[in-house]
A and B are shown apart, each in its own frame.
Chain A
Amino acid sequence: MMPALLACLGYGLAITLILARCAPWLRARPERMTMALAAACALLYLPVAGVSLLAVLRGALGDLSIVTLVFLSILFLRRPGPLLPHAGFFALMGLVFFFLSFGLLPLDLYALGYAAAVLPCLTGGLAFLLWLRGWIASSLALLAALAGWRLHWLDSTNLWDYLLDAPLIVVASSRAMFLRIARKPVIKPVIQDAVK
């Protein structure tokens, strides 16, 4: 029950935020956003040809991680800010992690996410550092993932599934690439300086 509700909330939030990007008037008033979220959740349960959109998303993409859920919730509750903090970190982490999961190398990071103490301790340590540096939202996301894993909020028993998911990595990679392109220094033509 809990995994299905969280999946509905996560995909509902994602749809609502995409809609808000396309239609800025939705953002203007919180009650509009709440209504849009309710409509998105209802849409997810609407059966089309016997299958709901939520079942298709859960079947094809799986459940969203707790970290993604926290980020989506924060984005939903506040005015538009940075789309995803630490996008580069998440992108790099996710790409390395997913590549290792293909089994081509002897290292299996995913196995650490079951009952070993290493990954929870690393996650807690990272949350600690992020809190110290003032990245409260990211720290809270990691702590929620730890708590969710221990309380078994999702179908998975692997901590990695509470920390990362494929849609998060896709968004983080796109965001990291976008930021890299946006930050690219503009080379001013020499002739311009000469004219000055």
Chain B
Amino acid sequence: MHRYRRIAALAGIVCLTLWAACPAFFAPPPRFALPSLPASPSEKTPRLESALINQPDPPRVHAAAIAALPSGRLFAVWYGGLREGSTDVKIYAADYRHGAWSPQRVLATTAQTMADTGRFTRKVGNPVAFVTPRGELWVVYVSVALGGWAASQLNLITSPDLGESWRPARRLVTEPFLNISTLVKGEPVFFENGDIGLPVYYEMAGKLGELLTLSPEGEVRARHRMDHGSRSLQPVVLVETPTRAVALMRDGDDLPPHRVWRTETTDAGQHWSALTQTDLPNPNSALSALRLEDGKLLAVANDVENERFRLSLLMSADDGQHWRVLHRFEDKESFLQDPPDRAAFHARLLEDLQDIGQMPDTEAVVRNVENSLCETHCAWQYDYPYLIRSAEGDFHLVYTWNRGFIRHLRFNRAWLEERL
């Protein structure tokens, strides 16, 4: 009798193991979904529009992302507070409808995140917004319980009606050691089975890019590291075929030369090649990129080695290895040798504001920017670009403008072709 019980127990163990492991036996290999081609451009007139999205309060904002919604609508998210990393930081959002940006609204707070997830949260940061293949609007943002940004964790909020209402935040578990150090910055890619590939990065002991696979329900399905060591951050994944993609990454290495890193996959993100340096300078700063219908890559980046005073539009015809500048959206190199005093800075700022487009009260903009940028001496800063293309074919770029504002630039294919 004892022997039969023992055999039954062991058979039970085998059955339980097979039941636990069986879904993996039937999982098909992943394949990227190719980005849908935008409508062919009907507009022949070059067009570049500009706006400052946020209000002057809170005074510091950063890490904007933008998503294209149906009917030409846009949805932008960013975080803001008294200063970066302070506990009053909230995630803000605004909508673009009928040719103008709506007033900003609070999308997520520390208190709400804590209540929703049932876990202590001290601050929130970096959000990324996107529309899933199922047509839901998702925002993934980081939060920190203890320590600095390197100890971040990911949270997901989803909206079934494109931003009208939101479900409670969920914590994504992505790391084994106290679930710390996963941050998000880049635009997601999608898989043919409806899964979402979210480029994230780890920056605790090492610094490396990762591709996180989320199910359409928002569960983490897989994680693939793009590198090891301590040199690459904030990947941007650019899909070419259902199995091939290139990723570009911010340089997080202490040693020069400081260049954007590049890697590629031929099995839809399961494995990534060894990192190589491109010829695009990078001052340890985020970049954004997308693939055009002819296969060329378009990027927005700080193409200098050690400052963020310049933000350029660049193009690569060889899958990201070599880049040429098409346009400078922002460039204050002339002030590098001779830093402006407060009066000169003020005068130049007013000059810049003349073609900024929709914006809050000029006085408040100037006050915020000067308070942010003129602590010891005045220095310009343009960073954290996020570039997308809407279904209508227009390009939308958001970035942090002088630490105090989120600037939105919209340009059409005709404007781009003028610069090719």
Contact = CB atoms under 8 A, between A and B. Distances in A.
Contact of B24 (A115, A127, A156, A166): A115
Nearest to B118: A4
Question: For chain B, what secondary structure do more than half of its interface residues adopt (helix, strand, loop), or is it mixed?
Answer: mixed
Interface stretch (A17-25, A79-87, A100-108, A185-193): A100-108
Contacts of A54: 118
B177 A103 contact: no
Question: For chain A, what secondary structure do more than half of its interface residues adopt (helix, strand, loop), or is it mixed?
Answer: helix
Interface in B2-26: 9-10, 13-14, 16-25
A158 B310 CA distance: 42
B230 interface: yes
A62 B229 contact: no
Interface in B155-192: 170-171, 173, 175-179
Interface in A127-158: 127-128, 131-132, 139, 143, 146-147, 149-150, 154-158
A147 B229 CA distance: 35
B133 interface: no
Contacts of B142: none
B27 interface: yes
Contacts, number: 133
B223 to A, nearest CB: 5
Contacts of A124: 13-14, 16-18, 20-21
B145 A157 contact: no
B119 A117 contact: no
Interface residues of A, number: 49
Q: Which of B25, B170, B173: most chain A Cβ within 10 A? A: B173
Nearest to A161: B173
B95 to A, nearest CB: 31
Interface stretch (B53-61, B214-222, B314-322, B354-362): B214-222
Interface in A160-176: 160-161, 164, 166
Interface string B116-146: 0011110000000000000000000000011
Contacts of A4: 118
B224 interface: yes
Contact of A60 (B22, B146, B205, B219): B146
The range of chain B's interface size is 35 or more
Contacts of B23: 115
A19 to B, nearest CB: 23
B114 interface: yes
A58 B119 contact: yes
A125 B225 CA distance: 27
A149 B23 CA distance: 12
Interface of A: 4, 51, 54-56, 58-62, 97-98, 101-106, 108, 110-111, 114-117, 120-121, 123-125, 127-128, 131-132, 139, 143, 146-147, 149-150, 154-158, 160-161, 164, 166
A-B pairs with the 4 shortest C-beta distances? A124-B17, A59-B120, A102-B205, A103-B206
17 contacts: A55-B114, A56-B120, A58-B118, A101-B176, A101-B177, A103-B202, A103-B230, A104-B228, A108-B225, A111-B225, A114-B220, A115-B24, A117-B21, A127-B17, A146-B17, A150-B20, A166-B177
Given A59-B114, A104-B228, A124-B18, 18 more contacts: A4-B118, A51-B114, A51-B120, A55-B119, A98-B176, A103-B229, A104-B205, A111-B222, A115-B23, A124-B17, A127-B17, A128-B10, A150-B19, A154-B173, A156-B173, A156-B220, A158-B176, A161-B176
